[in-house]
Amino acid sequence: MRILKDRLAKRTMLVLTAVPTFLVLLILIGLFIRARPILAQKPFFSLFFSSAWSPLKGDFGLLPFIMGTLWVTFVSLVLAVPISLLTAVYLSEYAPLSVREFTKPIIDLLAGLPSVIYGVWGVLLVVPLVGRVIAPLFGVTSSGYTILAGGIVLAIMIFPTIISVSLEVFSSIPYPMREASLSLGATKWETVHHVVLKKGLQGIIAAIVLGLSRAFGETMAVLMVVGNIPRLPGSVFDGGYPLPALIANNYGEMMSVPLYDAALMLAAAVLLLVVLFFNVLARLILVRVERRAA
Amino acid sequence: MSHPSSLHWLRRRKLKEGIFRVLMAASVLVVIGCLALIMGTIIWKGLPAMNLSMITQTPKGGYYLGREGGILNAIVGSLYLASGATVLAILFSLPVVLYINVYAQKRSRLASLTRFSLDVLWGIPSIVYGAFGFIIMIFFGLRSSLLAGILAVGLLEFPIMSRAADEVIRMVPNELLEASYSLGATRLETALKVVVRQCLPGLLTAVLIAFGRGIGDAASVLFTAGFTDRIPTSLFQPAATLPLAIFFQLGTPFPEVQQRAYASAAILTVLILVISLLARGLGKRYTRHIIK
């Protein structure tokens, strides 16, 4: 009887263990099935390389949204990468234990704050900052609801990802390597530069890629500060309209306009494909890094 | 080393060291400062607008025009939704995690593949879970409802909970399993009575982390849970959620209602803070190996 139970449990659990792997595929297939009507009717070019967006006339050019996503992601990476990497190096190589213990919950909390909170904060602080301080500094007039505001909020949201993954990578580098460098008379920073950063390069790339894919799919926070103008952005002081925001903003009306829902599902599928690509890439690198350390 | 040029060189290296130390300290301060700034702004803006009726009443007629009422519907809706989703996620993730750690070998190919898939699932944006939840909803002919929301958020929580639980269970020493087997316990008994008990604080932490993520997520419930001014009484009714309530209130053109959005944001922030403090307190010993 007990053995029977054990066997039964084993079967059930094995089936459930297959869930994660198949779930990824299932989501992808589901999205593509829903997006098929538009893929069948519109030429590929007019979907991805056209900036004409007027669902009522049947124009579904996704280019402004794809560009909007790329701009916001790029700005956030430019801001987040140096700050996160320097923080990670400091925490893993320089900081006394007490500082490390103090910072860890802060980073966890940053990761755990809901994106709406980031959005509200962005509206309250970052948008006015961009509109009244930063834009005039560059001689531009702007409402503040811009790519730059989206990028700043996003940068803070991806700090935790880049920092935590880099910390893991740095801790996988054997200590004696650093000692060897120090004993040759290298300063601490030289050791970091030539040993830690060099050895950890692959892992750092993975950390950045994970941050990138997080930024790529972030919805609410960006939506609230980025302006949502379906035009090709020309500078960081223009408003943008990233893909996730497009999906989130139009869920209400999408069922009443023909092909609209298919267009949005296509947008979600594109988003998923890009994020999957980056995630798989980064995870493969990390698995290799981990194996080397073990 | 009395050679002047080498002394100069040494000084330059020292200077470089100093510059980078300053840069690093500044970066750490920026990161800490950002959190302080966010929390500070939300609390500072939210507290003045807070009052008792916010958390004890549902929206009355004209609430979104600045009239009477509160956001009890959203608070309760979010709690229902996140609790349901968390239960759903436990039902799926506990067996998966136990299987890859007790039944399969810890380093087997199946285990690595599953971990890999979970990591990839973790990276999928919540708006995609929302869209997928929407597809499932249409497939089964459901309307936007508490149930559909629970499904979407449950999917979102599943990889988060699984990976956090896996990190804890992976630390259980093999000797403990072997001791249990040698006493004649089956693997199921070992899994449920030894492993789960040994890891209980850590597992609770995993559950709380997932719960916190579920309660704060907006993009996945946008499509699926709908929004209503009433507190749902069945799984098939739409449910309001706190993040969406914040979003909608902020979107109105009335300053009074926007004030309430700030107050609601403060409520959500405090909720998240309490959950993460609980998680930290419970799992202090076991979460040392979890960084994410």
Interchain contact B6–A (C-beta under 8 A): no
Domain count, chain A: 1
pLDDT score recorded for residue B287: 46
> Which residues of chain B, if any, have pLDDT below 70?
1-4, 61-62, 66, 106, 283-292
pLDDT for B69: 74
Helix (H) / strand (E) element for A59: namely strand A59-60
**Does the distance separating the beta carbons of B215 and A117 come in below 8 Å?**
no
Question: How close is the nearest chain A Cα to the Cα of B132, in Å?
Answer: 6
The answer to whether the CB of B218 falls within 8 A of the CB of B244 is yes
Domain that holds residue A225: 64-293
Cα torsion at A159, A162, A167, A172 (round to 10°)?
A: 180
Considering only CB atoms, A114 lies closest to which of B95, B223, B272, namely B272
Query: Could you give the CA distance from residue A114 to residue B281 in angstroms, rounded to a whole number?
Result: 21
Q: Is residue A204 part of a domain?
A: yes
Q: Compute the distance between CA of residue A203 and CA of residue A289 in angstroms, rounded to an integer.
A: 7
Taking an 8 Å cut-off on Cβ atoms, the answer to whether A20 and B162 are in contact is yes
Task: Give a yes or no: residue A46 inside a domain.
Answer: no
Query: Is A27 inside any structural domain?
Result: no
In this prediction the ipTM stands at: 0.89
pLDDT at B281: 80
The answer to whether B238 and B144 are in contact (CB under 8 A) is yes
Mind telling me how many Å the CA of B36 is from chain A's nearest CA? 9
Answer for the pair B240, B77: CB distance below 8 angstroms, yes or no: yes
Residue of A13, A113, A189 lying closest to B20 (CB–CB): A189
In a domain? residue A233: yes
Residue A178's H or E segment, with its range, is: helix A175-183
Could you tell me if B183 lies within 8 Å of chain A, comparing CB atoms? no
The residues near A50 (Cβ < 8 Å, ≥ 6 apart) are: A59, A61, A63
Q: For residue B291, what pLDDT is reported?
A: 33
For residue A114, the distance in angstroms to the closest alpha carbon of chain B comes to 5
Q: Is B87 on the interface with A (CB under 8 A)?
A: no
- A-to-B residue pairs, Cβ atoms closer than 8 angstroms: 259
Token pair listed for B68: 């009477």
Give me the pLDDT at residue B41, please: 93
Q: How would you write chain B as a 3-class SS string?
A: CCCHHHHHHHHHHHHHHHHHHHHHHHHHHHHHHHHHHHHHHHHHHHHHHCCHHHHHCCCCCCHHHCCCCCCHHHHHHHHHHHHHHHHHHHHHHHHHHHHHHHHCCCCCHHHHHHHHHHHHHHHCCHHHHHHHHHHHHHHCCCCCCHHHHHHHHHHHHHHHHHHHHHHHHCCCCHHHHHHHHHCCCCHHHHHHHHHHHHCHHHHHHHHHHHHHHHHHCCHHHHHHCCCCCCCCCCCCCCCCCHHHHHHHHHHCCCHHHHHHHHHHHHHHHHHHHHHHHHHHHHCCCCHHHCCC
Asked if residue A214 belongs to a domain, the reply is yes
Distance CA A89, CA A260 (A): 47
The pLDDT assigned to B157 comes to: 94
Task: Examine residue A23 and state whether it is found in any structural domain, yes or no.
Answer: no
Check CB contact of B274 with chain A, cutoff 8 Å.
no
**Cβ of B126 and A217 within 8 Å?**
yes
CB A271, CB B125: distance < 8 Å: yes
pLDDT in tens, chain A (294 residues): 788 888 888 888 888 888 888 888 899 999 988 888 888 887 777 778 777 777 777 778 888 898 989 999 999 999 999 999 999 999 998 989 999 888 988 998 999 899 999 999 999 999 999 888 888 888 888 888 899 999 999 999 999 999 999 998 998 888 888 888 998 888 888 898 888 888 889 899 999 999 999 898 888 889 889 888 888 887 888 888 888 888 888 877 777 777 888 888 898 999 999 999 999 999 899 888 878 776
Output the domain CATH number for residue A209: 1.10.3720.10
**Run of H or E residues at A60:** strand A59-60
In chain A, residues with a C-beta closer than 8 Å to the C-beta of B261 are 120
State whether B213 and A21 contact (CB < 8 Å): no
| CATH class label, B56-289 | mainly alpha
pLDDT in the model for residue A290: 79
Return the residue in B28, B96, B246, B290 with the most chain A beta carbons within 10 A, the one to mutate for interface testing: B28
**Does A80 fall in a domain?**
yes
